[in-house]
Amino acid sequence: MKVAFIGAGVMGEAMIAALLRQSTTSPGEVSAYDIDQARLIFIENKYKVNCASDITKAVSDCDTVVLSVKPQVLAKVMNNLKGVLKEGQLVLSIIAGASTDTIGKGLQHDKVIRVMPNTPAQVGQGMSVWTATSAVSQAQKETAQKILSAMGKELYISEEKYIDMATAISGSGPAYIFLIMEALTDAAVHIGLPRKMAEELVSQTVLGSAYMSRETGKHPAELKNMVTSPGGTTAEGLLCLEEGGVRAILAQAVIAAYEKAQRLGGQSSK
Ligand SMILES: NC(=O)c1ccc[n+]([C@@H]2O[C@H](COP(=O)([O-])OP(=O)(O)OC[C@H]3O[C@@H](n4cnc5c(N)ncnc54)[C@H](OP(=O)(O)O)[C@@H]3O)[C@@H](O)[C@H]2O)c1
């Protein structure tokens, strides 16, 4: 499976690392192009993949072109690739907000897969939500599935409108969870726990809660009630969270991220 990466930043590297870790492909079958030369040299040295000096060379011999640049530079990248791609090549974009329509028109290419991955892909625990244009073949969808499952879980959806929504939940979600983890750790230190111990307690609590939810399949409210004894300590803590408007603030954060993803979609088509 020959894959070219345009943009080898945080997510591009996470994908390259996952593909090689899972032996989905070999270093010789991966090429990368990034405008940042130092970054490219770092990627070449670390993963022994082929790093190309220009964008057309990077994509010339691959089956799949992964677009992993920031939304703000997509228009420029599409201009550079317009008319360069071959009929049978698959374009797989992970760019937030950029629709398959924008990418298809910008590249004058009809085989486009749009994915919203997330950073836990770096440790094989990612969540990738994806969709494909009607011109993408079954074999190309299977290729996409192989690439994405190397990074964790993948979920195909036929309706593209869900991608911007997934961006606000699973795409941005790790940052929300990390912020909560940081705040809980600081709070633990505030009441007197040593920081190392606090970090261990918080990370295992988040991990354990996620596992418990997945393994039991129970509703979060039921799992929450299991921890909450009448008149107990958890009830006191929960009351503070509710008084602080934690549900409303989370809803506002998700709505803001969703609206931003939609606005970025507008910008990346220009
Ligand atoms: N990070 C996440 O959690 C996450 C999650 C889901 C989706 N995404 C999407 O993934 C994409 C990449 O995000 P990222 O976090 O990996 O960004 P990033 O770390 O900034 O990586 C993008 C790379 O592309 C390079 N670049 C800029 N202009 C270029 C050009 N014209 N041609 C080739 N390379 C160019 C950048 O170089 P410079 O640094 O020199 O500009 C940078 O090395 C974004 O579109 C984002 O929406 C990210």
Looking at the fold, whether 215 and 117 belong to one and the same domain comes out as no
Distance 65 CA to ligand 1 centre (A): 15
Domain annotation covers residue 24:
yes
Strand order in the sheet with 64-67: 50-51, 30-33, 3-6, 64-67, 90-93, 112-116, 126-132, 152-156
pLDDT at 269: 52
Residues 6+ apart with CB under 8 A from 113: 90, 91, 92, 93, 100, 130, 131, 132, 133, 136, 140, 141, 144
Distance 135 CA to ligand 1 centre (A): 26
Looking at the fold, whether 98 and 37 belong to one and the same domain comes out as yes
Looking at the fold, whether 191 and 73 belong to one and the same domain comes out as no
Which residue lies with its CA nearest to atom 4 of ligand 1? 118
Whether 73 lines ligand 1, by a CB cut-off of 6 Å, is yes
pLDDT at 266: 65
**Residues in the chain where the model's pLDDT stays below 70:** 266-270
From the alpha carbon of 12, which atom of ligand 1 is closest?
16
pLDDT at 264: 79
Distance 6 CA to ligand 1 centre (A): 9
Which residue lies with its CA nearest to atom 37 of ligand 1? 36
Contact call for residues 38 and 12 (beta carbons, < 8 A) = no
Question: In angstroms, rounded to a whole number, what is the distance separating the alpha carbons of residues 53 and 33?
Answer: 7
Based on the number of CB atoms within 10 Å of its own CB, is 236 exposed (0-12), middle (13-18) or buried (19 or more)?
A: exposed
Share of the chain above pLDDT 70, in %: 98
- Mutate which of 5, 6, 10 for ligand 1? The one with the most ligand atoms within 8 Å of its CB, which is 10
pLDDT in tens, 139-161: 999 999 999 999 999 999 999 99
Distance 96 CA to ligand 1 centre (A): 10
Domain annotation covers residue 166:
no
Distance 30 CA to ligand 1 centre (A): 18
Q: Which of 115, 107, 11, 19 is nearest to 56 (CA)?
A: 107
End-of-domain residue from the set 124, 158, 192:
158
Domain annotation covers residue 269:
no
pLDDT at 151: 94
End-of-domain residue from the set 133, 158, 183:
158
* Residue in the structure block whose two tokens are 């897969």: 113
We report the CATH number of the domain holding residue 58 as 3.40.50.720
Looking at the fold, whether 18 and 81 belong to one and the same domain comes out as yes
pLDDT at 88: 92
Looking at the fold, whether 87 and 186 belong to one and the same domain comes out as no
Number of domains observed in the structure of the chain: 2
Domain annotation covers residue 165:
no
End-of-domain residue from the set 158, 189, 209:
158
Domain annotation covers residue 74:
yes
Question: 3-state SS string over the chain?
Answer: CCEEEECCCHHHHHHHHHHHHCCCCCHHHEEEECCCHHHHHHHHHHHCCEECCCHHHHHCCCCEEEECCCHHHHHHHHHHHCCCCCCCCEEEECCCCCCHHHHHHHHCCCCEEEEECCHHHHHCCEEEEEEECCCCCHHHHHHHHHHHHCCEEEEECCCCHHHHHHHHHHHCHHHHHHHHHHHHHHHHHHCCCCHHHHHHHHHHHHHHHHHHHHHHCCCHHHHHHHHCCCCCHHHHHHHHHHHCCHHHHHHHHHHHHHHHHHHHHHHHCC
Looking at the fold, whether 189 and 151 belong to one and the same domain comes out as no
Looking at the fold, whether 142 and 55 belong to one and the same domain comes out as yes
We report the CATH number of the domain holding residue 249 as 1.10.3730.10
Whether 12 lines ligand 1, by a CB cut-off of 6 Å, is yes
pLDDT in tens, 193-247: 999 999 999 999 999 999 999 999 999 999 999 999 999 999 999 999 999 999 9
Distance 23 CA to ligand 1 centre (A): 24
Domain annotation covers residue 168:
no
Whether 141 lines ligand 1, by a CB cut-off of 6 Å, is no
Q: Which of 51, 58, 61 is nearest to 77 (CA)?
A: 58
Domain that holds residue 28: 3-158
Share of the chain above pLDDT 90, in %: 93
